[in-house]
């Protein structure tokens, strides 16, 4: 078994319990839009029971307050959000409670009478109210689509009938290591289980809590536990340490509450009971394997695979107990992670540097790389036979071993490290030109020769992997659905929960069968192309289609373009031929594209990227006397390091150029499919549309086509592990056309490190001339929509990516409040109804075909068909969520996206939101495939990652790159939140930077 030496991550979630039932999510009838696949669907007839839009005003008691805080001033230059007519309106739906009192009442009475969420202080970063709202309730189950059965990696867990008790654990002296805490408690259980513990077998979380099935014989007791310290300092016998452990009764978990919640009779989940059951089922695996978060890893599960540079992949499994409609469910999935290979340190260093270190002296850059690679790594000595003391590396000596001396007594008698190891241990250091490892703290650092040390097994690698390592890890994790399903089943059988002493103690029984779930396959939407093409519309097959015989519905014109070749291997004639082929493809696809660049193709070296871009920009400007360069093509080497990011940063924040990059491997091997995909990207970057939903232009999308609707996508990306000072970057995109809902504009901003709440959704600041000024990304995008469409949005749909379950409440309360304040700042009483949906991809639910041999129920990769939706059994007992696999698999096992409707003032039915989400996945502009995540969320994700390139190169290196709002000067003052602003995006780039 591996030696578990790593620190385990602890997840802390702020959970605000719900006290009220949602009253706005009642089932509502919608027109069915299922298609028979034989031709484009026919228009729906207007419903006889529809009502005109009903935009209710805020309660009178709030009107004055809202005007005072967010009222529009005539000198602020805001766009007046007046409604205008649109001939496309067909069906009007009633709007229920467009403002709502988000915190109006609870079971305990009203909260702050006269206030709603808009009155909360945005400056605090989270709601100040201790009360909470309840999430949207499920309005019913979807009916659209062909029904089928799928299997899910959820295993039914029987609810125990025993009392669950929680005890507080205090260990003195305080211990920070979970593994040491567990060792102390394991010794306590070994010594006292049959006596003082009354034969109870407790489960322990490694920190402060102990759980038992039934009460212990005492309410409070103190124990003395002695442990031998296996990691004591160099020299001398191992010390025996004594710890005082106090166990005190805290509370009894309410399993009745859990049963009521699972039955759908209570809205708030009993988190304490769920946490106890989760810890109980993890106890045995924690002893057997290396725990990392909610996963467990071991080299015994499958042979580790080398990833390079001293790393290897370990296989493992993810495990979590979840409340679902079928009851308690144990979610099991396969996992892989990078671990440091347990090599002799000299071998590790040789792999890290990629050269022989035994015969060559190390350079300064070599030393820096070794120091970074080994700092914090645990090593064990090998020069003392069976004595394998373990130490954590704190650094590297600046001198080689042969020059190192240290005092051996109080009168500063000096001895060399070489002499000491020879005299003390009879160990001759062979490679004295190498530095020593420093272990211990800086005040009392000790030296260990590299050749006397070996890396301890079972240490997770938490730093950033390089591209080669990522590729190697993906090969390990990529499994066909049938293979993954078999591995999951084998894991469950191997874990033998029926024999688990902890599961037995607590009365938990786990099924060994995958959950069988009813699913539906939603029909693909018809897509509309230009009337001049041979095919004017298209019905995708298995999530895919192509551009053959089709023309972009809005093909743009590119008259003035240039090309820079940064690849030495691409000759000018080859580059010219590629550009010509690309121009032809753009023309065939429906664009007007000039066959010749305005200036000759310019060749440059990657390290001169800024000089080359400015040269081409000025050469073009001089030739055309100031006319705008519409497009820059760039040919990049396949391995281009920071070139891509530098090019995008300079183009989009300095020069205002729209660019399209192409790798040299595609230039040499010209593929029609590749050229077609590049032409799609170029067209949307120029402001065109490639295709639109036929239902959209026919005004047949429920709760989108009836009144002007804006669809937002939002995401926050956080820096890599180890980058402690880098900012998090938030991005928001919003649709800019209606009723098509195809074109988007995006804004980015940076914010405090690992801050998940988007700080710049809405904000105010004091201007010396204008007074209080309102701004923020929501407000700017609403104004942009008004300018683009001539109408103000009367409905908002907000897809929020990247939020974990523990953050649902904070994100909803804070960001919904920001949306409402942004609306109110534009026009008094302007509060369009909002639907707020969280999109999750980082979950571990997988769906498998019921019969892998049935080719009619799988795509070519063996995955479930695109459009497969599940909203029962494995979903939340009461809340409005669903799993949707909207894409066709390519390799590996498809991961369905999980959509959780947290707030719904638009009264979507299950079919309505599921069909809308699935259909939108066919409007992703960069390819002719449906995608796995709804496009506004996808674009926000891409925009947030793109914005990382906008920090200056020097700032990127030292990790202190800052933040602010990349969307203009109004929110980019340094020092407001202690974060450095991103450079402002050029105006012509805001709508296209996320198309990459």
pLDDT for the residue 676: 95
Q: From CA 961, how far away is CA 693, in angstroms rounded?
A: 41
| Cα distances (Å, whole numbers) of residue 300 to 378, 779, 788 | 21, 55, 59
Pick from 70-84, 290-304, 465-479, 834-848: least confident: 70-84
Q: From CA 905, how far away is CA 835, in angstroms rounded?
A: 6
pLDDT for the residue 62: 39
**Contact call for residues 134 and 100 (beta carbons, < 8 A):** no
Mean pLDDT of 397-403: 93
Crossing angle for the helix pair 777-789 and 808-826, to the nearest 10 degrees:
50
Residue, of 925 and 124, whose pLDDT is higher: 925
Residue, of 963 and 209, whose pLDDT is higher: 209
Q: From CA 90, how far away is CA 100, in angstroms rounded?
A: 27
Q: From CA 799, how far away is CA 993, in angstroms rounded?
A: 19
Of 57, 55, 59, nearest to 104 by C-alpha is 59
Mean pLDDT of 671-693: 96
Pick from 114-118, 160-164, 205-209: least confident: 114-118
| pLDDT tens column, 167-186 | 999 999 999 889 999 999 99
Of 57, 75, 81, nearest to 826 by C-alpha is 81
Residue, of 130 and 934, whose pLDDT is higher: 934
Q: Are strands 602-603 and 515-521 parallel, antiparallel or unpaired?
A: unpaired
108 pLDDT exceeds 90?
no
Mean pLDDT of 147-170: 94
Q: Which position has the token pair 């144990």?
A: 330
Question: Computed from CA positions of residues 162, 166, 167, 173, in that sequence, does the dihedral angle turn out positive or negative?
Answer: positive
976 pLDDT exceeds 70?
no
pLDDT for the residue 952: 59
Mean pLDDT of 862-874: 97
pLDDT for the residue 317: 97
Residue, of 48 and 825, whose pLDDT is higher: 825
Of 863, 911, 861, 844, nearest to 150 by C-alpha is 863
Q: Phi, psi (5° rounding) for residue 407?
A: -75, 140
Q: From CA 142, how far away is CA 144, in angstroms rounded?
A: 6
16 pLDDT exceeds 60?
no
Of 99, 135, 126, 134, nearest to 814 by C-alpha is 126
Q: How far is CA 220 from the centre of its chain?
A: 43
CA dihedral 564, 567, 571, 574 (to 10 degrees): -70
- For every residue of 255-302, DSSP letters joined together read HHHHHHHHTTS-SS--HHHHHHHHHHHHHHHHHHSEEETTEEEETTTS
Cβ neighbours for 867, distance < 8 A, ≥ 6 positions apart: 145, 521, 522, 523, 524, 543, 884, 885, 886, 918
pLDDT for the residue 408: 79
Mean pLDDT of 874-889: 96
Please give the share of the chain, as a percent, with pLDDT higher than 90.
70
pLDDT band at 626 (very low <50, low <70, confident <90, very high): confident
640 pLDDT exceeds 60?
yes
| pLDDT tens column, 925-973 | 999 999 999 999 999 999 999 999 987 554 444 333 333 334 433 333 4
User: What's the pTM?
Assistant: 0.84
904 pLDDT exceeds 80?
yes
pLDDT band at 987 (very low <50, low <70, confident <90, very high): confident
**Contact call for residues 277 and 265 (beta carbons, < 8 A):** no
Q: From CA 765, how far away is CA 761, in angstroms rounded?
A: 14
Q: From CA 458, how far away is CA 380, in angstroms rounded?
A: 13
Residue, of 632 and 969, whose pLDDT is higher: 632
pLDDT for the residue 412: 76
Of 186, 14, 157, nearest to 512 by C-alpha is 157
3-state SS class at 680: helix
Which letter does DSSP use for residue 654 in this model? I
99 pLDDT exceeds 80?
no
Mean pLDDT of 296-319: 95
**Contact call for residues 869 and 522 (beta carbons, < 8 A):** yes
| pLDDT tens column, 234-268 | 444 567 899 999 999 999 988 899 999 999 998 88
pLDDT for the residue 996: 83
Q: From CA 265, how far away is CA 262, in angstroms rounded?
A: 8
Residue, of 419 and 97, whose pLDDT is higher: 419
**Contact call for residues 940 and 731 (beta carbons, < 8 A):** yes
The two tokens of residue 200 are 């109870």
Which residues is 732 bridged to in the sheet?
714, 747
Of 510, 490, 491, nearest to 281 by C-alpha is 510
The two tokens of residue 701 are 């999308």
pLDDT band at 521 (very low <50, low <70, confident <90, very high): very high
CA dihedral 959, 964, 965, 966 (to 10 degrees): -40
pLDDT for the residue 444: 60
| pLDDT tens column, 328-337 | 999 999 999 9
Q: Which helix (H) or strand (E) holds 677?
A: helix 672-685
Mean pLDDT of 599-622: 94
Average pLDDT over all residues of the chain: 84
Please give the share of the chain, as a percent, with pLDDT higher than 70.
82
pLDDT for the residue 8: 37
3 pLDDT exceeds 70?
no
Residue, of 272 and 964, whose pLDDT is higher: 272
Residue, of 266 and 521, whose pLDDT is higher: 521
| pLDDT tens column, 429-469 | 999 999 999 987 655 668 899 999 999 999 999 888 988 99
Q: Phi, psi (5° rounding) for residue 192?
A: -120, 5
Half-sphere exposure of 303 (CA within 13 A, CB side): 2
Of 824, 925, 685, 722, nearest to 67 by C-alpha is 824
683 pLDDT exceeds 70?
yes
pLDDT for the residue 508: 95
pLDDT for the residue 112: 33
């Amino acid at each position: 078994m591996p030696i578990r030496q790593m620190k385990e991550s602890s997840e802390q979630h702020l959970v605000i319990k719900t006290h009220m039932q949602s009253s706005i999510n009642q089932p509502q009838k919608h027109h069915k839009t299922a298609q028979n696949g034989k031709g484009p669907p026919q228009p729906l007839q207007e419903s006889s029971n529809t009502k005109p839009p009903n935009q209710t005003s805020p309660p009178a008691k709030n009107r004055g307050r809202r005007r005072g805080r967010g009222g529009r001033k005539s000198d602020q230059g805001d766009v007046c959000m007046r409604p205008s007519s649109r001939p496309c309106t067909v069906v009007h739906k009633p709007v229920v409670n467009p403002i709502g009192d988000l915190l109006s009442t609870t079971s305990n009475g009203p909260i702050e009478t006269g206030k709603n969420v808009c009155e909360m202080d945005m400056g605090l970063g989270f709601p100040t109210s201790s009360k909470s709202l309840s999430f949207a309730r499920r309005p019913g189950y979807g009916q659209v689509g062909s029904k089928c059965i799928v299997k899910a990696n959820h295993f039914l867990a029987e609810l125990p009938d025993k009392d669950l008790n929680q005890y507080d654990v205090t260990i003195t002296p305080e211990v920070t290591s979970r593994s040491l805490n567990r060792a102390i408690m394991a010794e306590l259980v070994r010594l006292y289980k049959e006596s003082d513990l009354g034969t109870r077998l407790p489960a322990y979380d490694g920190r402060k809590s102990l759980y038992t099935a039934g009460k212990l014989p005492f309410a409070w007791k103190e124990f003395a536990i002695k442990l031998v310290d296996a990691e004591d300092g160099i020299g001398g016998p191992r010390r025996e340490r004594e710890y005082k452990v106090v166990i005190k009764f805290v509370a009894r978990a309410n399993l009745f509450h859990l049963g009521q919640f699972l039955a759908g009779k209570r809205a708030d989940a009993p988190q304490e009971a769920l946490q106890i059951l989760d810890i109980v089922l993890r106890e045995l695996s924690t002893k057997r394997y290396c725990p990392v978060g909610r996963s467990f890893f071991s080299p015994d599960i499958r042979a580790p695979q080398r990833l390079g540079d001293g790393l290897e992949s370990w296989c493992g499994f993810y495990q979590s107990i979840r409340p679902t409609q079928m009851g308690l469910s144990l979610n099991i999935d396969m996992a892989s992670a990078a671990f440091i290979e347990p090599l002799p340190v000299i071998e590790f260093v040789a792999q890290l540097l990629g050269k022989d270190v035994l015969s060559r002296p190390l350079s300064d850059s070599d030393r820096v790389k070794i120091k970074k690679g080994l700092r914090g790594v645990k090593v064990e000595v090998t020069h003392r036979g069976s004595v394998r003391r373990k130490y954590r590396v704190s650094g590297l000596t600046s001198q080689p071993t042969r020059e190192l001396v240290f005092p051996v007594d109080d009168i500063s008698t000096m001895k060399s490290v070489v002499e000491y190891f020879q005299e003390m241990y009879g160990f001759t250091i062979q490679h004295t030109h190498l530095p020593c490892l420093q272990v211990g703290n800086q005040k009392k650092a000790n030296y260990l020769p590299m050749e006397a040390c070996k890396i301890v097994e079972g240490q997770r690698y938490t730093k950033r992997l390089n591209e080669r390592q990522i590729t190697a890890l993906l090969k390990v994790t990529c499994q066909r659905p049938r293979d993954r399903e078999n591995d999951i089943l084998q894991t469950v059988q191997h874990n033998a929960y029926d024999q688990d002493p902890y599961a037995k103690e607590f009365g938990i029984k786990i099924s060994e069968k995958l959950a069988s779930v009813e699913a539906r396959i939603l029909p693909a939407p018809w897509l509309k192309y230009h009337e001049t093409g041979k095919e004017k519309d298209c019905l995708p097959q298995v999530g895919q289609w192509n551009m053959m015989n089709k023309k972009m519905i809005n093909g743009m014109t590119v008259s003035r373009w240039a090309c820079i070749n940064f690849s030495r291997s691409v000759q000018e004639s080859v580059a010219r031929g590629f550009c010509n082929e690309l121009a032809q493809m753009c023309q065939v696809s429906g664009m007007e594209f000039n066959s010749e660049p305005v200036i000759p193709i310019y060749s440059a070296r990657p390290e001169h990227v800024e000089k080359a871009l400015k040269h081409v920009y000025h050469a073009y400007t001089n030739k055309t006397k100031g006319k705008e360069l519409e497009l820059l093509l760039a040919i990049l080497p396949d391995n281009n390091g920071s070139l891509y990011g530098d090019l995008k940063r300079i183009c989009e924040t300095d020069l205002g150029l729209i660019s399209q990059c192409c790798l040299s491997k595609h230039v040499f091997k010209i593929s029609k499919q590749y050229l077609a995909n590049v032409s799609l990207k170029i067209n949307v970057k120029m402001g065109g549309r490639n295709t639109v939903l036929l239902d959209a232009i026919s005004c047949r999308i429920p709760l989108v086509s009836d009144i002007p609707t804006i669809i937002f996508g939002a995401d926050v990306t956080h820096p890599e592990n180890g980058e402690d000072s880098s900012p998090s970057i938030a991005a928001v995109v919003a649709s800019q056309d209606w009723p098509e809902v195809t074109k988007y504009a995006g804004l980015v901003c940076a914010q405090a490190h690992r801050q998940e709440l988007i700080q710049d959704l809405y904000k105010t600041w004091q201007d010396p001339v204008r007074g209080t000024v309102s701004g923020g990304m929501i407000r700017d995008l609403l104004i942009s929509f008004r300018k683009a469409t001539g109408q103000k949005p009367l409905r908002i749909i907000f897809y929020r990516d990247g939020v974990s379950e523990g953050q649902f409440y904070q994100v909803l309360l804070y960001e919904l409040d920001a949306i409402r304040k942004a609306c109110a700042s534009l026009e008094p009483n302007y509060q369009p109804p909002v639907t707020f949906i969280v999109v999750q991809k980082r979950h571990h639910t997988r769906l498998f075909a019921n019969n892998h041999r049935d080719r009619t129920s799988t795509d070519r990769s063996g995955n479930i068909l695109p459009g497969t939706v599940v909203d029962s059994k494995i979903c939340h007992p009461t809340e409005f969520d669903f799993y949707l696999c909207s894409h066709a698999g390519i390799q590996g096992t498809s991961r369905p996206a999980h959509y959780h409707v947290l707030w719904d003032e638009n009264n979507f039915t299950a079919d309505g939101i599921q069909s809308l989400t699935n259909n939108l996945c066919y409007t992703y502009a960069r390819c002719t495939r449906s995608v796995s995540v709804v496009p506004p969320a996808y674009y926000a994700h891409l925009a947030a990652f793109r914005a990382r390139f906008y920090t200056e190169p020097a700032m990127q290196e030292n990790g202190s790159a800052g933040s602010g709002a990349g969307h203009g000067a109004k929110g980019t003052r340094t020092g407001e939140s202690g974060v450095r602003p991103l450079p402002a995006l050029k105006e012509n780039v805001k709508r296209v930077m996320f198309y990459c």
